[in-house]
Structure 1
Amino acid sequence: MKLASWNVNGLRAAVKKGFWDVVRGLDADVLGLQEVRAEAPPEPPEDLEGYRWYWNAGERKGYAGVGVLARAEPLAVTRGIGHDAFDEEGRVITLEYERYYVVNAYFPNAGRGLPRLGYKLAFDQAIEAYLEGLRAKKGVVLMGDLNVAHREIDIARPKQNQKSAGFTPEERAWIDAFLKKGWVDTFRHLHP
């Protein structure tokens, strides 16, 4: 099964800029989208038959949200991680397949000046617990935008950005600890 992930930064805008052409080119069985910022998904063009939407828009209009466009029909779909404080923002959707779960997540951003750093770190811990619970049952693929630049190679001007959202020592320490539990960053694995 071919899986792909994309932060579209507004799906309506992405559709106007050639979204469907990219979907055709990717030819993914499961395409996870983050930051869809839409209450409902658009209809796929007729030539993309076989795809179906799975959606979690959250409560606030035009904010966050995740969606999955999939040809492979899941056994079950779960919206959120069971924590109202995070689930109201529509940040996670899980598709269960026979041998594994596909979790599509849009992690919070700590924000300029870090006003939501505490919220982001709490989300990190909550989703980690959720993922570990799933992993106890079968394999898990986490896709999405984690809103963190893990290593200096992942960001421009690392020295100047030490206290910037997505590159704070706290956020980077969390992802270090997460990966030490056996999770694999497939991008970094393929592109060391």
Structure 2
Amino acid sequence: MKFISWNVNGLRAVLKKDFLTTFENFDADFVCLQETKMQAGQVELDLPGYQQYFNYAERKGYSGTAIFARTKPLKVTYGLGLPEHDQEGRVITLEYPNFYLLTCYTPNSQAELKRLPYRLEWDQAFRHYVSELAQQKSVIFCGDLNVAHEAIDLKNPQNNHHNAGFSDEERQSFSQLMAAGFVDTFRYFYPDQTDVYSWWSYRFHARDRNAGWRIDYFMTTPDLNDQLTDAKILTDIVGSDHCPIELDTADLMKKVD
């Protein structure tokens, strides 16, 4: 099975950059999007063979997530079930017989870390949510988690030590997420890989110089380790300041003995 995650930085914008052709070329079982920046009714997508699920932010042109799935889920849940965290359209959960799949767009701590306290509250609530799901069945969650976990995950760690996405507090929070029982699938396959990133600033020709950050992830529960076959960062695909990432697995729809 193939899973794709992509922060498109505006679905309407990326549609003007040949998104539908890219989507078709993915030939994926699931495509999870973040930062769709749209409201209901603003886009009608013709995606034959796919179920479409959207979670919209109350604020127009902001945040938002989507999942396109070849297989209809047993259940769809929007948000975390917490009003204080469910105004920005940041999470969708699909339930299948053998696993849960989530797309997540984690809040950015913003300049001078002015939203860091809220970000850490979000992290705790999200960690609790996925941990509860993991007590029931396997979990796969993906998205722009807005943190580079280790120095290996960004080009200039020294210069960004106290910036949003690489603060000590955010990195420690990500460590707590892993300690709660979730695997960073890219590092599972490529623990020492350097200079592979998923986001580049639009400034200073950062993408041309590959001065990027790895802040997009597929995370899974450890019981799926022997079902994982590869994790990829699709750096050649353009259209956003993020590139898509991919997780390949065995057929998780098959009945587990």
TM-score in terms of structure 1 length = 0.95
Give the deviation of 1:18 after TM superposition: 1.0
Partners of 2:9 and 2:71 in 1: CA distance = 24
Give the deviation of 1:127 after TM superposition: 0.4
Structure 1 unaligned segments of length 5 or more: list them: none
Partner of 2:135: 136
Partner of 2:23: 23
Give the deviation of 1:9 after TM superposition: 0.5
Q: Does 1:158 align with 2:157?
A: yes
Asked if the contact 2:35–2:63 (Cα under 8 Å) also holds between the matched residues in 1, the reply is yes
Partner of 1:66: 65
Asked if the contact 2:34–2:143 (Cα under 8 Å) also holds between the matched residues in 1, the reply is yes
Partners of 1:118 and 1:58 in 2: CA distance = 20
Partners of 2:30 and 2:98 in 1: CA distance = 15
Number of residue pairs matched?
A: 190
Partner of 2:3: 3
Asked if the contact 1:76–1:95 (Cα under 8 Å) also holds between the matched residues in 2, the reply is yes
Q: How does 1:56-95 map to 2 (within 5 A)?
A: 56-95=55-94
Q: How does 1:35-50 map to 2 (within 5 A)?
A: 35-40=35-40, 42-45=43-46, 48-50=47-49
- Per-residue displacement from partner, 1:69-118 (whole Å, max 9, x unpaired)? 11111110000001112100110010001101001100000001111001
Asked if the contact 1:78–1:95 (Cα under 8 Å) also holds between the matched residues in 2, the reply is yes
Give the deviation of 1:156 after TM superposition: 2.0
Partners of 2:23 and 2:189 in 1: CA distance = 22
SS in 2 for 1:189: helix
Identity %: 48
Q: Does 1:183 align with 2:182?
A: yes
SS in 2 for 1:143: strand
Q: Which amino acid aligns with 1:14?
A: V
Give the deviation of 1:42 after TM superposition: 3.0
SS in 2 for 1:148: coil
Partners of 1:16 and 1:52 in 2: CA distance = 22
Partners of 1:42 and 1:20 in 2: CA distance = 13
SS in 2 for 1:6: strand
Asked if the contact 2:104–2:142 (Cα under 8 Å) also holds between the matched residues in 1, the reply is yes
Partner of 1:105: 104
Q: Which amino acid aligns with 2:73?
A: P
TM-score in terms of structure 2 length = 0.72
Asked if the contact 1:4–1:30 (Cα under 8 Å) also holds between the matched residues in 2, the reply is yes
Q: Which amino acid aligns with 1:114?
A: L
Partner of 1:146: 145
Asked if the contact 1:44–1:51 (Cα under 8 Å) also holds between the matched residues in 2, the reply is no
RMSD: 1.1
SS in 2 for 1:113: helix
Give the deviation of 1:173 after TM superposition: 0.5
Partners of 2:130 and 2:60 in 1: CA distance = 27
Give the deviation of 1:191 after TM superposition: 2.2
Partners of 1:83 and 1:164 in 2: CA distance = 28
Partners of 2:84 and 2:165 in 1: CA distance = 20
